[in-house]
Structure 1
Amino acid sequence: MLECVSFKSSTPTSISSPLPPPSEGNSTEELEEGEGTSATSPNVSREFHRAVEAHSYNEIRSMVQAPPQVHHIDDEDSHHRHVLSQVLQPDSHSVREALAKAKPKSNLTRLVSTYFDHSETASDFCLRLSRSVHRARYLYAPLSDLLSVLPADAPLPSLSQPQCNHAYDLFLQFDREENPFALFRLHRLRDSFSDLKRDIQRDLRKCHSRIRLFRHGAAGCALCFVAAAAGTVLVASIVAVHAVVGFSALSAAPFCVPRQKKRELARLKQLEVVENGTHVVNDINTIDSLVDRLQTAVEGDKAFVRFALERGRERHPIQEVLKQLRKNQPVLEHLLGDLEQHICFCFYSVNKARYALLKEICSHQTS
Structure 2
Amino acid sequence: MLECVSVPNTNASIPTPSNSQGNSTEVEESEGEEDEDASTASLNVSTEFLRAVQAPSYKEIRSIIEAPPPVHHAHDQDSHHRYVLSQLLQPDSNSVHEALAKFKPTSKLTRLVSTYFEHSETTSDFCLRLLLTIIRARDLYAPLSRLLSVLPADGPPLSQAQCDRAYDLFLQFDSQENPFLLSHLHQLRDSFSHLKGDIQRDLRRCHSRIRMFGHATVGCAVISVAVIAAVAVVAVHAAIGFTAVAATPFCVPRQKRRELVRLKQLEAAENGTLVVNDINTIDSLVDRLQTAVEADKAFVRIALERGRERHPIQQVLKELTKNQPVLEHLLGDLEQHIYFCFYSVNKARYALLKEICNHQNLYC
TM-score higher than 0.5 here? Answer: yes
Q: Deviation of residue 224 (structure 1)? A: 2.3
The aligned length equals: 335
Partner of 1:245: none
Report the Cα distance in structure 2 between the residues aligned to 1:150 and 1:104, rounded to whole angstroms: 64
Residue 82 in 1 paired to residue 83 in 2? Answer: yes
Alignment CA distance shift 1:73-1:149 (3 Å): same
The one-letter amino acid paired with 2:2 is L
Contact 1:287/1:342 (8 A) holds in 2: yes
2:156 match: secondary structure:
coil
Report the Cα distance in structure 1 between the residues aligned to 2:144 and 2:291, rounded to whole angstroms: 18
Deviates most, 221-230 or 136-145: 221-230
Contact 1:60/1:344 (8 A) holds in 2: yes
Report the Cα distance in structure 2 between the residues aligned to 1:112 and 1:190, rounded to whole angstroms: 17
Alignment CA distance shift 1:33-1:3 (3 Å): closer
The one-letter amino acid paired with 2:103 is A
Deviates most, 252-261 or 320-329: 252-261
Partner of 1:272: 267
CA distances 1:271-323 after superposition (whole Å, capped 9, x unpaired): 01000000000000000000000000000000101111111111110110000
Report the Cα distance in structure 1 between the residues aligned to 2:128 and 2:169, rounded to whole angstroms: 29
Alignment CA distance shift 1:66-1:163 (3 Å): farther
Report the Cα distance in structure 2 between the residues aligned to 1:106 and 1:52, rounded to whole angstroms: 38
The one-letter amino acid paired with 2:86 is S
Contact 2:160/2:310 (8 A) holds in 1: yes
Tell me how large the CA RMSD over aligned residues is. Answer: 2.8
Q: Deviation of residue 65 (structure 1)? A: 4.3
The one-letter amino acid paired with 1:215 is G
Partner of 1:170: 169
Contact 2:220/2:251 (8 A) holds in 1: yes
Report the Cα distance in structure 2 between the residues aligned to 1:87 and 1:201, rounded to whole angstroms: 29
Report the Cα distance in structure 2 between the residues aligned to 1:101 and 1:56, rounded to whole angstroms: 30
Q: Deviation of residue 195 (structure 1)? A: 0.4
Q: What 5-or-longer segments of structure 2 have no aligned partner?
A: 23-40, 235-243
Partner of 1:297: 292
Taking the TM superposition and a 5 Å limit, the aligned residue runs for 1:112-131 are 112-131=113-132
Report the Cα distance in structure 2 between the residues aligned to 1:32 and 1:96, rounded to whole angstroms: 21
Structure 2-normalised TM-score?
0.84
Partner of 2:180: 181
Report the Cα distance in structure 1 between the residues aligned to 2:303 and 2:103, rounded to whole angstroms: 63
1:52 match: secondary structure:
helix
Report the Cα distance in structure 2 between the residues aligned to 1:322 and 1:340, rounded to whole angstroms: 26
Partner of 2:140: 139
Alignment CA distance shift 1:197-1:341 (3 Å): same
Report the Cα distance in structure 1 between the residues aligned to 2:118 and 2:174, rounded to whole angstroms: 38
CA distances 1:27-55 after superposition (whole Å, capped 9, x unpaired): 66xx34644348xx895433212111111
Partner of 1:36: 20
Report the Cα distance in structure 2 between the residues aligned to 1:33 and 1:157, rounded to whole angstroms: 59
Report the Cα distance in structure 1 between the residues aligned to 2:161 and 2:202, rounded to whole angstroms: 69
Structure 1-normalised TM-score?
0.83
CA distances 1:63-82 after superposition (whole Å, capped 9, x unpaired): 33457799x99711121111
Report the Cα distance in structure 1 between the residues aligned to 2:215 and 2:233, rounded to whole angstroms: 27
Partner of 2:35: none
Alignment CA distance shift 1:187-1:313 (3 Å): same
Q: What 5-or-longer segments of structure 1 have no aligned partner?
A: 10-15, 21-26, 236-248
The structure richer in helix per residue is: 2
Q: Deviation of residue 251 (structure 1)? A: 7.3
Contact 1:5/1:94 (8 A) holds in 2: no
Alignment CA distance shift 1:327-1:259 (3 Å): same
Q: Deviation of residue 253 (structure 1)? A: 6.1
Identity across aligned pairs (percent)? 73
